[in-house]
Amino acid sequence: MAGEDRRQVVLDRRRFLALTGSAAAGVLASGCGLATRRTLVAEPRRRFARVHVSADRVIRTVVGLRPFRPSGFVVRADKLDAHTIIHNYGHGGGGMTMSWGTAHLAVEQALETGERTCAVIGCGGVGLATARLLQRRGFAVTIYAKDLPPDTTSNISGAQWAPAESYDPARRTPAFAAQFERAARLSHREYQNLPGDTYGIRWIENYVVSDTPPAGPQGSSQNIADLYPDAHDLRPGDHPFPGRYVRRFTTMLIEPPIYLAALMRDFLLAGGKLIVRELVDLRAVAMLAEPVVINCTGLGARQLFGDDELMPIKGQLSVLLPQPEIDYITLSDELYMFPRRDGILLGGTHERGVWTLEPNLDAQARVVAGHQRFFERMR
């Protein structure tokens, strides 16, 4: 599979918008390539509740920094004194989406060492998924982290299963495209074991709304379009949204406050150890007792392991009062709406190279006003 010549299957966030005619969220604020089906499909009539958007319904605005590498995420083994260091970081806005898949790749490398004791650095979505897969393969695992849920970057993500924003297309290589596809498929399969209240995951309809025809890669065995088997375009009279073109697909929505707490519980029940400690330099890493160390520090790998290619992409979410009746996601004009139990998430910001965690008030006003116009125009 890795040796096959395959097409580019992953796009950065803005490229995805061009393919679908809209915005897709990652996560922190979470997009995918969809199969193009030009036949318009008549949908059964259903009721779409309208999201009530106004500035006085905003209950909080949260900011997170996506750990982005233009050449793509890293899954690679290195040596540090007597330790094997396996890197698993740099997922951009796709960390929650790709976490189980890249964890599989990292655990495969850990198994090659012959050891069965492992440290995981980091306690976000990637770190917890990696720790759980290690436990399932018979490892004794200790997590070292300076921050625990609910104070991780993963807690400030949208998030739904939607691979995107993993690298700049100009930097892609066939090898990385193959690695990305395998990780995406592995992650998609793992998440299918989790829907339900326990993990805060559910299947949900997405509606990509645009005034221009959507376009996307043709589905084939060489890309991940088949993971969206119901993707199709709707006829103008079969939806209430204010756009000429609408594409519908179904994927999984992940609620981080529930999901991350559940993974933490599973890790501890399986005998995992958790040590709250910041590892400030490589000397601290080299002093760990575990012979295998998996680095899931995200943006922290820039300083800890000297990866200067890592950069932040600042994402911001404004959260409205909850509306339990909203049972769909919208993506339009670089704006996206996710309905969760803890509120209605409004997003649409991607500030590359910005390190501040302070909310951008101008961006907040733009996102709220844009969604207000969108939902006021719903039929």
Give the pLDDT of residue 172. 77
Helix (H) or strand (E) holding 361: helix 361-376
Distances (CA, A) of 162 to 26, 45, 124, 159: 7, 26, 18, 8
Yes or no: say if 342 and 255 are a contact pair by the CB < 8 Å rule: yes
Distances (CA, A) of 96 to 82, 119, 248, 378: 31, 20, 22, 31
Give the pLDDT of residue 173. 84
Give the pLDDT of residue 58. 98
Give the pLDDT of residue 3. 38
**Residue-wise DSSP of 229-258:** TT-EEEPGGG--SSSSEEEEEEEEEE-HHH
**Tens digit of pLDDT at every position of the chain (379 positions):** 433 333 333 333 333 333 333 333 333 333 333 444 456 666 667 889 999 999 999 999 999 999 999 999 999 999 999 999 999 999 998 999 999 999 999 999 999 999 999 999 999 999 999 999 999 999 999 999 999 999 999 999 999 999 875 677 777 788 888 999 999 999 999 999 999 999 999 999 999 999 888 754 233 334 788 999 999 999 888 899 998 899 999 999 999 999 999 999 999 999 999 999 999 999 999 999 999 999 999 999 999 999 999 999 999 999 999 999 999 999 998 899 999 999 999 999 999 999 999 999 999 999 999 999 999 999 8
Nearest to 93 by CA among 7, 186, 156: 156
Give dist(CA 245, CA 241) in Å, integer.
Answer: 9
| Entry pTM | 0.87
**Peptide bond between residue 339 and the one before it cis (omega within 30 degrees of 0):** no
Distances (CA, A) of 327 to 142, 193, 197, 205, 233: 38, 21, 15, 8, 19
Secondary structure of 165-215 as H, E, C letters: CCCCHHHCCHHHHHHHHHHHHHHHHHHCCCCECCCCEEEEEEEEEECCCCC
Question: What's at 28, amino acid-wise?
Answer: L
Give the pLDDT of residue 170. 77
Return the C-alpha torsion angle 324, 326, 327, 329, nearest 10. Answer: -130
Residues in the chain: 379
Distances (CA, A) of 374 to 77, 91, 108, 139, 361: 47, 30, 46, 50, 20
**What 8-state DSSP symbol labels residue 141?**
E
With b for 16 or more beta-carbon neighbours within 10 A and e for fewer, the 87-103 pattern comes to bbbbbbbbbbbbbbbbb
